[in-house]
Amino acid sequence: MGCLRGGILVVLMVVGVVGGQSVRNKPPCKFPAMYNFGDSNSDTGGISAAFEPIRLPYGQTFFKKAAGRDSDGRVLLDFIAEQVGLPYLSAYLNSIGANFRHGANFATGGSTIRRQNETIFQNGISPFSLDVQIWHHDQFKSRTKDLYQQVKSPFEKSLLPRPEDFSKALYTFDIGQNDLSVAFRTMNNEQLRATIPNIISQFSSAVQHLYEQGARSFWIHNTGPIGCLPVSQFYIVNPKPGFLDEFGCIKGNNDMAIQFNKQLKDAVTKLRTQLPEAALTYVDLYSAKYGLISKTKSQGWADPMKVCCGYHEKYDHVWCGQKGVISNGTTMFGAVCKDPELHVSWDGVHHTEGANHWFATQIFNGSLTDPPTPITHACYRN
């Protein structure tokens, strides 16, 4: 039986390589636009437009100003846009200075797949859950069609996507992390396991809806190792043996992320049979992120549990860019570290531009995707 299982594995690996190579031999996809759905990992200004703007030092490294992103610079979505030859995406909710010719970003920081019964002022959870983002997309597409026919000015027309581009666009997803973070606060593990199928089902419904609207190319990130976010440990004192793994991550939280990702991958596989004209690429971003965390010492990065921006010592926490009085009565400022390019974590929740770029280099060539398709060829059904 062992030899048979090994033989099957070899065959599957060969098929994967041949399939990926056949795609690589084709010309790169010419995506005229990109539409993104997600949370703060891919937000490019949505939550800033809807609520209080994100301020400096966020954005300082690349944009030299606050740019609506929860990072010191570019987020992973920005590197995706660069890779497929498109401008950075304007947030759908941002009406000032927005150019939607090459797509729109419906993501907002704090978004979840499943609606949450709390406000953003409680725990930072966005009211723009995935179903609301889909509504925004549908409205955007409908109004675009009407406006494109009505507008006479070439300049005004140049700010709108061409109606025929929607079916040729790349549709990206990076969402689900906050569904787990909310559940860690409100449920025990058994309740969360019982909830995951419903969360995944709602995600599948969103993809199916976009397909019915004409979308064909989907690039779907799984959720990262949430137990490796420094914020998850800010209030944990003297953890029991086995609570953390060898790299300092909370094992139980990561196990739940792995379970979530397994069901997400199964759902994507099922969608391939249900959506015969769709090219669906499942991206193992978890492995990319955990891979960096496991290699930081050997590659010269700072401790992945060390936050670049903010003050976090024992029981005292002052968030990035803010002032706060700590336990000894001293007023502290959540300042930026001297070398953000060497840090994985920007503010305890989000990654630095350097880390985001590292993740991009790991996933764009198809080595961590199913099927093994480079993002430049994600329009091909493999």
Active centre residues (catalytic): 40, 347, 350
The conformation of residue 91, written as its DSSP 8-state character, comes to: B
CB 283 within 8 A of CB 221: yes
Q: Residue 63 has which token pair? A: 């944009």
Q: Residue 303 has which token pair? A: 């401790």
How far is Cα 56 from Cα 53, in angstroms, rounded to an integer? 10
Would you list the DSSP string of 115-156? --SS-HHHH---S--HHHHHHHHHHHHHHHHHHHHH---HHH
CA dihedral for 130, 136, 142, 144, sign (positive or negative): negative
Measured at the alpha carbon of residue 96, what is the angle toward residues 91 and 102, in degrees to the nearest 5? Answer: 45
Q: Which residue has the tokens 């997803």?
A: 173
Q: Residue 141 has which token pair? A: 């597409």
* Nearest one of 292, 278, 282, 261 to 359, comparing CA atoms: 292
List Cβ neighbours of 66 (8 Å cut-off, separation of 6 or more). Answer: 48, 53, 54, 55, 56, 58, 59
Q: How far is CA 282 from the centre of its chain?
A: 13
CB 36 within 8 A of CB 105: yes
E strand or H helix at 172: strand 170-174
Q: Longest C-alpha distance within the chain, in Å?
A: 70
> Coil, strand or helix: which one is 171?
strand
How far is Cα 238 from Cα 258, in angstroms, rounded to an integer? 25
